[in-house]
Chains A and B, each alone.
Chain A
Amino acid sequence: DVKVTQSSRYLVKRTGEKVFLECVQDMDHENMFWYRQDPGLGLRLIYFSYDVKMKEKGDIPEGYSVSREKKERFSLILESASTNQTSMYLCASSADSATQYFGPGTRLTVL
């Protein structure tokens, strides 16, 4: 079974803090993705990576950056957290089949 893990299920941070969300997959997938999920808006793609050190902007990259130093790990960084970044963050990985495998999500609250 493919397993995608995220470092925290719940996270509370203050405005202006730097926030790291970590995602690890164990299936040697080339592609990894970060989404945010908000009620009524579905999933929106923030960034994705198709190889180590490669990254591409998704639909809503503003206020976020990513890092992929190793194939199995994809990090999402909020340089200076703001209240409008309070959301559920979902990580996913995929190989050639286009099927995405999701982690359980991190619910981030920015106060």
Chain B
Amino acid sequence: AQSVTQLDSQVPVFEEAPVELRCNYSSSVSVYLFWYVQYPNQGLQLLLKYLSGSTLVESINGFEAEFNKSQTSFHLRKPSVHISDTAEYFCAVSRTGAGGSYIPTFGRGTSLIVHP
């Protein structure tokens, strides 16, 4: 069984400040790790992912996450946030399932609120 814990349900921060959204997972097998973002009234979209290789992964809009196997963590960071980063962020871990599919388990989400 696998599970994902997002340690903060809400993170308020001022614009241009750094932010870290925390994610810990548990799994007995090798996993793939993801961060998805959901803007208001929209579906989720992929922010970044770790499949293998370098443990530090980056997104095109300045976010980065580091896979830490010993601490079973995949925290999301951005050195300077913008108002437009206000959204819900979901951490997810995937395992292989029936038919070779990848079955994700999502965390409960962290609401990032950026204040001017």
Contacts and interface: CB of A to CB of B under 8 A. Distances in A.
Given A40-B9, A98-B51, A90 B44 contact: yes
A101 B100 CA distance: 17
A82 to B, nearest CB: 23
Nearest to A38: B108
Nearest to B42: A104
Nearest to A103: B43
Nearest to A88: B43
Contacts of B99: 30-31, 50-51, 54
Contacts, number: 71
Contact of A100 (B97, B104, B107): B104
Given A51-B99, A54-B99, A99-B49, A42 B43 contact: no
Residue among B42, B45, B106 with the highest chain A CB neighbour number at 10 A: B106
Interface residues of B, number: 28
Interface SS of chain A? strand
Given A43-B90, A102-B45, A31 B102 contact: yes
Nearest to A50: B99
B97 A56 contact: yes
8 contacts: A43-B90, A50-B98, A51-B99, A54-B98, A98-B94, A99-B49, A101-B46, A104-B43
B108 A105 contact: no
A110 B109 CA distance: 25
A35 B101 CA distance: 16
A12 interface: no
Interface in B30-58: 32, 34, 36, 41-46, 49, 51
A24 interface: no
Given A43-B106, A99-B49, A50 B34 contact: no
